[in-house]
């Protein structure tokens, strides 16, 4: 069956397996020592798997098209970015092997959102340097939950309007029209990672 966006509808478990299985295979491939599988071979094997991480979320969806479907569409894209770094960017730019220790995955996958990237916070007014420790992963739950609640609230409110409502709002109420378009743009930026 095909939905209105042209995606193939699959049972939830099948869609989850299609979307998340390439991630497991890429993680397994990344921890294999390079004396058993060379970096070039890993790169060749990673191409179809990385491509599937981009292709599957846009070609398939589950029956409900609910939160599990959104999860299975966002996680492959995020993992594509992290695994692309391991298999392609690090070997090509830094001339290192395409391998990562299993113990380093926690650091690798959370580091992009855990670190304080503002170097001006590391210096005091008197010029001395202060070491700032990275946040633990559980400190992320509250900001992520608040962000999701705000995002879901704005998206739900914006989805309540029909095309006629939007036209009428545009003609009569500039404040409501501005809020509506702000909610749509904010949600679009949120989904695209901006």
Residue 23: phi and psi, rounded to 5, are -65, -45
Tell how far CA 55 is from the center of its chain.
14
- Best mean pLDDT range from 15-24, 41-50, 61-70, 153-162: 41-50
Per-residue pLDDT tens over the stretch 60-104: 888 776 778 778 888 888 888 889 989 999 899 999 999 988 878
87 DSSP assignment? I
Stated pTM of the model: 0.59
pLDDT for 191: 59
Arithmetic mean of pLDDT over the chain? 78
Residue located via tokens 């298999």: 87
Contact in structure between 74 and 68 (CB atoms under 8 Å): no
Q: Under DSSP, is residue 123 helix (H, G, I), strand (E, B) or coil?
A: strand
Q: Under DSSP, is residue 153 helix (H, G, I), strand (E, B) or coil?
A: helix
Say yes or no to pLDDT of 43 above 90: yes
Determine the Cα–Cα distance for residues 135 and 23; give it in Å rounded to an integer: 25
């Amino acid at each position: 069956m095909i939905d209105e966006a042209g995606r193939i509808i699959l049972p939830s478990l099948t869609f989850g397996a299609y979307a998340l299985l390439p991630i497991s295979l890429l993680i397994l491939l990344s921890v294999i020592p390079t004396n058993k599988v060379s970096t070039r071979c890993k790169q060749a094997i990673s191409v179809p798997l990385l491509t599937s991480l981009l292709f599957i979320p846009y070609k398939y969806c589950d029956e409900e098209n609910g939160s599990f479907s959104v999860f299975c569409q966002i996680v492959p894209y995020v993992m594509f970015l992290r695994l692309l770094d391991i298999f392609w960017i690090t070997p090509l730019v830094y001339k290192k092997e395409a391998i990562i220790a299993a113990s380093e995955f926690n650091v690798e996958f959370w580091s992009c959102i855990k670190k304080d990237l503002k170097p001006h916070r590391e210096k005091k007014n008197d010029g001395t340097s202060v070491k700032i420790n990275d946040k633990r992963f559980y400190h992320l739950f509250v900001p992520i939950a608040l962000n999701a609640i705000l995002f879901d609230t704005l998206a739900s409110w914006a989805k309540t309007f029909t095309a006629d409502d939007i036209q009428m709002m545009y003609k009569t109420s500039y404040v409501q029209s501005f809020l509506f378009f702000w909610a749509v743009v904010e949600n679009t930026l949120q989904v695209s990672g901006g």
